[in-house]
Structure 1
Amino acid sequence: YFTQPVNSEAFERLIAELPRDVYRAKGILSFSDTSSRFWFQYAYRESDYMKITPQGDVPNVAVFIGEHFDQTVIRNQLLELEAINES
């Protein structure tokens, strides 16, 4: 879960550099460089973003699915995205 919006370009770089052992990812995000919210999905080394208007209070969240990848590394990279936004 994200506590605040993240930079879209930094997030897209992170997704593009995911280890091959991450097969899918998906979630809903607010980006700091736009007022829109986005649903994203990642599969087969390709990512897609769609502007959405959630009904109700939907948290910003990203889920990563795969095997034998270091969850801690990805979690720390995501936390760094939030820290970049704070500075």
Structure 2
Amino acid sequence: MQRDKATNVISFAMQEGEGSGINPLLLGDVVISAETAARDAAEAGIGFEEELWFLLLHGILHLLGYDHERGTAAEARRMEAREAELFAQLRREFVTG
């Protein structure tokens, strides 16, 4: 992955694959840039905590094999749809309490 700017989240998978072939107890690591997340949250007009939850979910989806950057447009839409579905649940449970 080559980027010419700061990223808000990056995932490091312990194993490759998607779905049932992945050990759910050892997916990998998700690293979130708090500084970038805070800036992104302020620009979007949302809370920092909400942004952190979103980025954590986004990183976990990458660890599960979803890819919006290197995949097709259909794969990106699939990831975005799953992300929206799961984030709505997260917001109800954790973000908005």
Question: Normalising to structure 1: TM-score of the pair?
Answer: 0.32
* Larger gyration radius, structure 1 or structure 2: 2
- The structure with the largest helix share of the pair is 2
**Relative contact order, higher structure (CA 8 A, sep 6+):** 1
